A and B are shown apart, each in its own frame.
Chain A
């Protein structure tokens, strides 16, 4: 209803106290108040990476993602150190991966995005579009969300979503994808 326009049978005109407008304003205030009190059901953005458990991911990340021609390239948005690929400045190529490199990797992977685990870019990039993923220069790494690597990564990103089988998923991913040890 436009203010100030007389409406037949609806009472007041310009300048008077319009009870309809007052009621509407009250309802709006109540609705806004209720919405403000409603619990936020949106997934909570991730706080910080679980550095202590990153070792569950590193072996398959090294084989599948961190090679020098992919994310072992320091110029790429997701930079990953690995024993056979990119090393942190000043680290011997023959040395095992250091705890600092591992922690840097955890933050690097975690910091790709600040959205919840299932929508995190580190999860959606390698996932095929047919499974809900997004474009990835490196192609489809996982064709479904059931891939052990996908489940391992999602579980690592968010402890609250970590199922009991999480360690089993990560172990399966490592069994499928790991760089073999150096031959003597």
Chain B
């Protein structure tokens, strides 16, 4: 093969490569992760900054990072969220019992940790609850019904969860047309 014909072939490769590169880019999930930013990545608990772990990013949609083929920290959640005492609180409230029931019956029970986070993780075989986390053996079968309970307060979610495992995907910080606001024990007066 002559160098001229090689060059001629190489010229055809350029647009092919350019087109291929155009297909590369960030996925929707990567964009969602980027949109979360670094806010609340570390949280101040009892006077010290907590490293990423079960206390971090309260109020954010947990499954954006903790799901899929390559979950953050290798931990994949089925359901996770943050419970607040009041909608205006900076962090969530500890000690809230979250009861989840799906189409097949009782699914999981978990108590919120110091930042109000709770997590239902799928990996692992033990069922020990640790720092707001409980492990389950299967994905939930919709619809999912949610009840929260602490002391004398018990509240049930009126609607059902059909798909979304991150509470904060719908329950965002501010109430809006498309969000009922945070999951709270007490309604605003």
Q: Is A74 an interface residue (CB 8 A)?
A: yes
A138 touching B162, Cβ below 8 Å: yes
Q: Is A33 an interface residue (CB 8 A)?
A: no
Partner of B162, one of A70, A86, A88: A70
- Tell me the dominant secondary structure on chain B's binding face: loop
Beyond contacts A82-B159, A93-B175: 5 other A-B pairs, Cβ-Cβ < 8 A, are A67-B162, A68-B164, A69-B164, A70-B162, A93-B180
A59-98 Cβ-contact flags toward B at 8 Å (1 or 0): 0001100011110111000000010111111110100000
- A69 to B162 alpha-carbon distance, docked (Å): 7
Q: Is A15 an interface residue (CB 8 A)?
A: no
Residues of B contacting A180 in the complex (Cβ-Cβ under 8 angstroms)? 156, 158
Shortest Cβ gap from A129 to chain B (Å): 19
Partner of A179, one of B159, B161, B170, B179: B159
Q: Is B160 an interface residue (CB 8 A)?
A: yes
How many residues on the A side are at the interface (Cβ–Cβ under 8 A)?
A: 24
A63-B160, A84-B180 known; A69 vs B175 contact (CB < 8 Å): no
B161 touching A69, Cβ below 8 Å: yes
Residues of B contacting A87 in the complex (Cβ-Cβ under 8 angstroms)? 177-178
Q: Is A182 an interface residue (CB 8 A)?
A: yes
B180 touching A138, Cβ below 8 Å: no
B177 touching A138, Cβ below 8 Å: no
Shortest Cβ gap from B146 to chain A (Å): 12
**Quick one: closest A residue to B177, CB to CB?**
A87
B159 touching A62, Cβ below 8 Å: yes
Q: Is B75 an interface residue (CB 8 A)?
A: no
**Quick one: closest A residue to B180, CB to CB?**
A93
